[in-house]
Amino acid sequence: MMEIKQGDWVKMKADNCLTWTYDIETDSLFIYRNEKYDYETSLELNVDVILDLDDKGMPSAFEFLNASKLFKVKASSLNSIKEINVSVSITEKLIELNTELTVLVMDEFSQKYLFNMAANCYSIPEFNEVLSFA
């Protein structure tokens, strides 16, 4: 198995471990794990980015409010997401969330990136994983 280091991007097309929904009316993008989990709590990484944790303290879903503004695309482009890669790294001090979307913009696929970081003042256990939808 390949070792994943903090900040690495890994394409895991075979796994397809993420699912997404986008609500154009509220401009909110919700990305979540395909596997069943028991929701425990939500953490605001910033006012528009929310990380959901399961009952084991593991990241299970990611909410992006005002998503078209965050990813700098028209809202209609978020209805045609081709690929998603999410890298989550939690250390004793920091929570880092890197999100990469491949979306259709003017008949061409374009990659959009978003990096979020917050202090780990919640005592979440260390975690490092890359999740994908393709």
All structural domains of the chain with their residue ranges: 18-133
Share of the chain above pLDDT 70, in %: 87
SS3 label, residue 124:
coil
> What is the model's pTM?
0.83
The answer, yes or no, to whether residue 80 has pLDDT greater than 50, is yes
Question: What band does 39 get if pLDDT is binned at 50, 70 and 90?
Answer: very high
Cα–Cα distance for residue pair 48/66, rounded to 1 Å? 7
Average pLDDT over residues 48-69: 93
Question: What band does 16 get if pLDDT is binned at 50, 70 and 90?
Answer: low
Report the DSSP pairing between strands 28-33 and 127-133. Answer: unpaired
Average pLDDT over residues 89-117: 92
What is the model's pLDDT at position 134? Answer: 64
